[in-house]
Each structure stands twice: as structure tokens, then as C-alpha cells.
């Protein structure tokens, strides 16, 4: 059992918290009340960032002390939204939210994952008709192994998980968010994920 704090109680954070609790972990969800995020992070082994990507950096830098030594699982994408509310551009072109977090929180072990799919797939990958891929980006191998184990608890088979390397590789997976508005306009709001076919 892992003690997990989920920052963000929207659709992404809520579904991850429910699934991780169901898998037997001790999960706390931090709402927007003052001090909730700090209190949750302070007592957790793993912290999941499910806050909106365009505000994540400021929110998490404010928790620097609470996040010291923790594993930070970043599932958000930092984008500039278009008029329809869908991603239109990247907030950190030539970089990524994952990299910005790791640079700003050097004593926190950041692992980027689950950011290349519709949120429903994060906790139910086997519902797709083809095998999806969950990517891992991060500097710390032990942290990535912990996250890999959490992914298997969420239903991800080992062969569906691909370690891309260091946190710099997060810029590739974050850029994939630019597919999303086009896929939704083409096919509707149906579950999908990126997949590496071999």
C-alpha cells in the first residue's frame, strides 16, 4: 500500500483517486480549500499532479517544502486553450511542464505519465479496442519503477508501458496533446490514447 495525495479533484483527479483507492492504496484528495494541498502532500509518499496544466507550476512550487523527497507524478499538460476550450498551443514550447517542475523542484522526483490519452483511459486502458501505451519520463529510476507499479494497479499491462528516458522526453508526450482537439472534432468525445504499434 502506498500513501498517495492527489492534487486536483476534477474528472482526472477524481477518477485516479477512485481507482487507486480501489487498488488498495491510502489516497487523499486535496480540494481547493486553504492548506489542503500542503497537508495532503506532507503526509504522502507519492503526489499526483492533476491540477490544470496552465497553473500547475505556480501551485506546486508553492509546495516546495512539502514535496521535498516525494515522487511527483505529473499527468497534466500545459496548454493555451483556443476559443472552444480545447488545446491550441503549448504553454512551454521547446520545453514541457514536466521539465519546468523538475527544474523548479530539484529535490522532488518528477515522473511524467498518462498525459497522452483521454482521462477515462488512465484508469481503464483495457476498454480500448487496441492496446494503448503509457509513457514514462523522469530522471529517477526508482521513482519510475514505483510509478510503473501504480500503473499496473490501474490496469496497465507491463508491455503497454514504455520508459522514454529522462524528463526532457516529456516535451514529446506533452506535444502530443495538440492531436487532441483534432481527434475530438473528427471522432467525437470518445476514449482514445496514443499507441506505439510494434
Q: Give the per-residue pLDDT at 115.
A: 97
Instruction: Report the alpha-carbon distance of residue 37 to residue 7 in Å, rounded.
Output: 6
Per-residue pLDDT of 1-30, as tens digits, reads: 899 999 999 999 999 999 999 999 999 999
Asked if 136 contacts 166 with a C-beta cutoff of 8 angstroms, the reply is no
Question: How much is the average pLDDT of 32-45?
Answer: 92
Rounded mean pLDDT of 152-173?
98
The whole-number average pLDDT for the span 27-49 is 93
The pLDDT of residue 135: 98
pLDDT reported for residue 32: 79
pLDDT for residue 189: 85
The C-alpha atoms of residue 167 and residue 176 are separated, in whole angstroms, by: 15
> Which 3 state secondary structure label does DSSP give 165?
strand
Quickly tell me which residue has 495538440 as its cell: 178
pLDDT at 71: 98
| pLDDT for res 198 | 84
pLDDT of residue 166: 98
Of 77-81, 82-86, 113-117, 130-134, minimum mean pLDDT range: 82-86
What are phi and psi for residue 94, nearest 5 degrees? 80, 5
Rounded Cα distance between 55 and 51, Å, is: 7
* Distance in angstroms (rounded) separating the CA atoms of residues 12 and 50: 6
Over the stretch 63-99, which tens digit does the pLDDT of each residue have? 999 999 999 999 999 999 988 888 999 999 999 999 9
- Asked if the model's pLDDT at residue 132 lies above 90, the reply is yes
Amino acid at each position: 500500500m502506498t500513501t498517495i495525495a492527489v492534487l486536483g479533484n476534477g474528472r482526472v483527479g477524481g477518477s485516479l483517486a477512485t481507482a487507486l483507492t480501489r487498488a488498495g492504496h491510502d489516497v487523499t484528495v486535496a480540494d481547493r480549500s486553504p492548506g489542503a494541498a500542503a497537508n495532503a502532500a506532507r503526509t504522502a509518499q507519492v503526489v499526483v499532479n492533476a491540477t490544470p496544466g496552465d497553473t500547475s507550476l505556480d501551485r506546486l512550487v508553492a509546495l516546495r517544502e512539502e514535496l521535498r523527497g516525494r515522487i511527483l507524478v505529473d499527468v497534466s499538460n500545459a496548454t493555451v486553450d483556443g476559443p472552444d476550450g480545447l488545446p491550441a498551443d503549448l504553454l512551454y514550447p521547446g520545453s514541457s511542464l514536466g521539465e519546468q517542475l523538475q527544474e523548479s523542484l530539484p529535490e522532488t522526483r518528477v515522473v511524467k505519465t498518462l498525459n497522452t490519452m483521454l482521462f477515462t483511459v488512465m484508469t481503464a486502458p483495457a476498454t480500448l479496442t487496441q492496446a494503448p501505451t503509457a509513457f514514462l519520463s523522469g530522471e529517477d529510476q526508482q521513482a519510475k519503477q514505483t510509478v510503473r507499479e501504480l500503473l499496473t494497479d490501474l490496469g496497465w499491462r507491463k508491455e503497454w508501458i514504455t520508459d522514454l528516458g529522462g524528463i526532457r522526453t516529456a516535451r514529446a508526450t506533452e506535444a502530443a496533446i495538440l492531436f487532441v482537439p483534432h481527434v475530438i472534432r473528427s471522432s467525437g468525445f470518445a476514449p482514445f490514447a496514443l499507441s506505439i504499434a510494434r
